[in-house]
Copies of this chain bind each other. A is one copy, B any other.
Amino acid sequence: MARDRFPLKLLLVGFGNVGRELARILVNRPDYPALKDLDVSVVGITTGSRKSLANERGVDLARALRELEEHGRFTPANPDYSELDSLGAAETLDYDVLVEMSPLSIANRGEPAISHVRTALERGRHAITCNKGPLAFGFRELRRLADERHAGFLYETTVMDGSPVFGMARSCMKGNTILKIDGILNSTSNYVLCAMEKGSSFAEGVAGAQAEQIAEADPSNDLDGWDASVKIVALANVLMGAGLEPNDVDRDSMADVTPERVREAKGRGFRIKMVCSAWREDGSVKASVKATEVSLGHPFALVDATGSIVRFETDLLGKILMTEEDPNITTTAYGVITDLYSLNEGIR
């Protein structure tokens, strides 16, 4: 049964950078005085290869963080140690909110994240997904299921880290029809574009992004425009009622953008940016990710390295932009916290 109020018991599926930062914030709660009304405990943590923890009275998060730091995995010495896998935990533990933080798989069309979320919702529990797969490959089904079970299904972290893209559209644009969304939503490609402007080769740009831990070891999803495609599809599906999948996106790859082209554009007073767009056309919603020349006076031109921006065009509110500056892992983990507040207020 979905519960309407704090306290909320969480099952964390996946415990990478975001999950660990969320745990760190919860452990260090006194550092954030405005969090005083957040009453959350973690009753389970599952990982792909680092084993799991479960304790219905609350997992010892400080110990969990320390153990990963020291051993790279949870160990049987931990009283909360568990052999449960993620799906098993989703099916059996007594949690209020499943927080899906496993890595996105485009090849597997959003699985196993979709199954984790579906399992929680079928049990009438809330689901928060930081994994974009459920929005890009299963949004309509999962949204309908959540509505049927009066369970919450939220996803603020999926686009622009913790910046309240979905929250702003949900809470602050009521009565508007969103006509168009565009933005710069992939940090790695933006970092590489900025590096090439300054004289780097493509490979040097990618290596720089990896050195600064912006890009993953395999950055191909970012560089081929898949990550950006998944994000614009998530926005279009949730906010414009689209039924798109990433394959439907008219998608440029960074392979189409040479350093020469970037520097030639710069010489003419333009920056090349990977611009994601979704718009209404002939009764449906279309989307694209395009290497686009923007003039230096355009707000998109100011988005450097890891920043991001989204612009909404609406019928009543006009054009409104949200920019995220210098995001970090705390910002991203905050996206989960804002979803927890939303659940507490009855937002589903």
Residues of A within 8 A of B (CB): 25, 31-35, 37-38, 162-164, 167-168, 170-177, 296-299, 302, 304, 311, 315-328, 330-331, 334, 337-338, 341
Contact = CB atoms under 8 A, between A and B. Distances in A.
CB-CB nearest 10 A-B residue pairs: A164-B172, A171-B171, A167-B172, A321-B323, A174-B341, A319-B325, A316-B334, A318-B331, A35-B175, A34-B177
Contacts of A173: 164, 338
5 contacts: A164-B168, A168-B168, A318-B326, A318-B330, A319-B325
A57 to B, nearest CB: 24
B162 A317 contact: yes
A334 B317 contact: yes
B297 A316 contact: no
Contacts of A337: 174-175, 316
Contact of A175 (B321, B331, B341): B341
A32 B297 contact: no
Contact of A168 (B172, B316, B318, B326): B172
A321 B38 CA distance: 25
Contacts of A324: 318-321
B163 A171 contact: no
B299 A316 contact: no
B316 A25 contact: yes
A182 to B, nearest CB: 12
Contacts of A174: 34, 337-338, 341
B325 A322 contact: no
B317 A176 contact: no
Contacts of A325: 299, 311, 318-321
A180 to B, nearest CB: 13
Contacts of A315: 31-32, 34
